[in-house]
């Protein structure tokens, strides 16, 4: 499963349960794992035209309904400017695409996820009790969940922002989806998922939950979300799902070949670094921390960047935007130190502050 919000190890665990009371969840997880994998975006061959040359206007959204099939895109049920359909999933998807567009346009001056006004497409009601949501390189796809462990995947705004952010990364840094660069790919999506939710709600860094996938679990699950950026490893602790395995620091880094080298696990480390920067600076996370991360992925970042390279690039981006020795620069360096990485500034060009 490429770029799905639910990690494959969690779906595998559910699919192997032998409990009559969770039969629906077990069968749904098994079907989700066997469903056709979305194609991975092609590797970047050249940087796209700078998004600063295209002025954001308004989103161009189309929502389709797969009606339980696994064929995309399905039948169109709502286009840009149409009235709500009354279908909760379709209307949540429409609103979530709009909230993501608003963050990119209003904060980063970016016209849609490609920086050139790309139409935003989404399909709801994909598959039978499909336990995931994903970005397939061209559009968003949402399942309805199994009803026992997972509810509908449009219910969490951070999920919608997370998956669309894979499209932003695809059109900027194009980080290779394995190992540390893959964990960074996942982390950047979590960062932007959190920013979309906070921006939509007008929350400060202190007010925000910093949860990714809040609202996905049913009330049968002892857990608040899929991941916590504030405290990786604490998002859930359930007798069925087990305990959230994400590390918060390099001391607990997971060395594995599973999940493309632990991309959904080790993303907790850069996630926590971003949280530390945002809360140290205070105010809205999209005012300083968000632009530093955006400048980093918009610059000349290696597609196979390690955590250390990425951390150094964020420090350089903070210097370029706010000045050497600024509180923003210090907050970045201190955050990476806290998660166990000693970084120095780099010659990597962060592309300067977004206009």
Please pick, among 166, 171, 199, 264, the residue that the annotation labels catalytic. Answer: 264
The interaxial angle of helices 327-338 and 289-298, nearest 10 deg, is 80
Q: Enumerate the β-bridge partners of residue 150.
A: 217
* Closest residue by Cα to residue 312 from 337, 282, 279: 337
CB 295 within 8 A of CB 320: yes
CA distance linking residue 299 with residue 252, whole number of Å:
29
- Other C-beta atoms lying within 10 Å of the C-beta of residue 304: 14
Per the listing, tokens 């590390």 go with: 247
Per the residue annotation, which of 163, 186, 214, 328 is the catalytic one? 163
Half-sphere exposure at residue 141, Cβ-oriented, CA atoms within 13 angstroms: 30
Angle 200-201-206 (CA atoms, 0-180°, nearest 5)? 120
Any catalytic annotation for residue 264? Answer: yes
Catalytic status, residue 199: no
Task: Kindly compute the dihedral angle of the four CA atoms of residues 11, 15, 20, 24, in this order, to the nearest 10 degrees.
Answer: 60
Annotated catalytic residues are: 163, 264
């Amino acid at each position: 499963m490429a770029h799905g919000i639910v990690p494959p190890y969690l779906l595998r665990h559910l699919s192997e349960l032998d409990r009559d009371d969770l039969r629906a969840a077990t069968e749904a997880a098994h079907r989700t794992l066997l469903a056709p994998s979305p194609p991975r975006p092609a590797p970047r061959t050249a940087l796209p035209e700078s998004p600063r040359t295209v002025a954001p206007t308004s989103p161009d959204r189309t929502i389709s309904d797969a009606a339980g099939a696994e064929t995309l895109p399905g039948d169109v049920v709502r286009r840009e400017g149409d009235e709500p359909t009354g279908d909760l999933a379709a209307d949540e998807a429409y609103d979530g695409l709009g909230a993501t567009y608003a963050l990119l346009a209003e904060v980063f001056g970016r016209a849609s996820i490609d920086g050139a006004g790309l139409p935003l497409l989404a399909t709801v009601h994909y598959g039978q009790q499909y336990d995931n949501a994903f970005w397939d390189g061209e559009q968003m796809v949402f399942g309805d969940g199994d009803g026992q462990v997972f509810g509908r995947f449009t219910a969490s705004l951070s999920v919608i922002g997370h998956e669309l952010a894979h499209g932003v990364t695809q059109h900027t840094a194009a980080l290779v989806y394995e190992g540390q660069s893959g964990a960074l790919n996942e982390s950047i999506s979590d960062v932007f998922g959190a920013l979309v939710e906070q921006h939509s709600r007008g929350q400060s860094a202190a007010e925000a939950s910093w949860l990714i996938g809040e609202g996905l679990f049913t009330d049968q699950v002892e857990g608040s979300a899929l991941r916590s950026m504030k405290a990786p490893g604490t998002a859930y602790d359930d007798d069925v799902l087990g305990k959230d395995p994400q590390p918060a620091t390099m001391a607990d880094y997971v060395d594995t070949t599973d999940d493309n080298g632990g991309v959904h696990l080790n993303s907790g480390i850069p996630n926590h670094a971003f949280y530390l920067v945002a809360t140290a600076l205070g105010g809205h996370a999209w005012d300083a921390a968000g632009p530093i991360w955006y400048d980093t992925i918009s610059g000349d970042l290696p597609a196979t960047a390690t955590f250390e390279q990425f951390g150094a690039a964020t420090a350089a981006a903070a210097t370029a935007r706010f000045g050497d020795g600024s509180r923003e620069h210090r907050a970045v360096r201190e955050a990476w130190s806290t998660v166990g990485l000693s970084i120095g500034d780099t010659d990597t060009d962060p592309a300067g502050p977004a206009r």
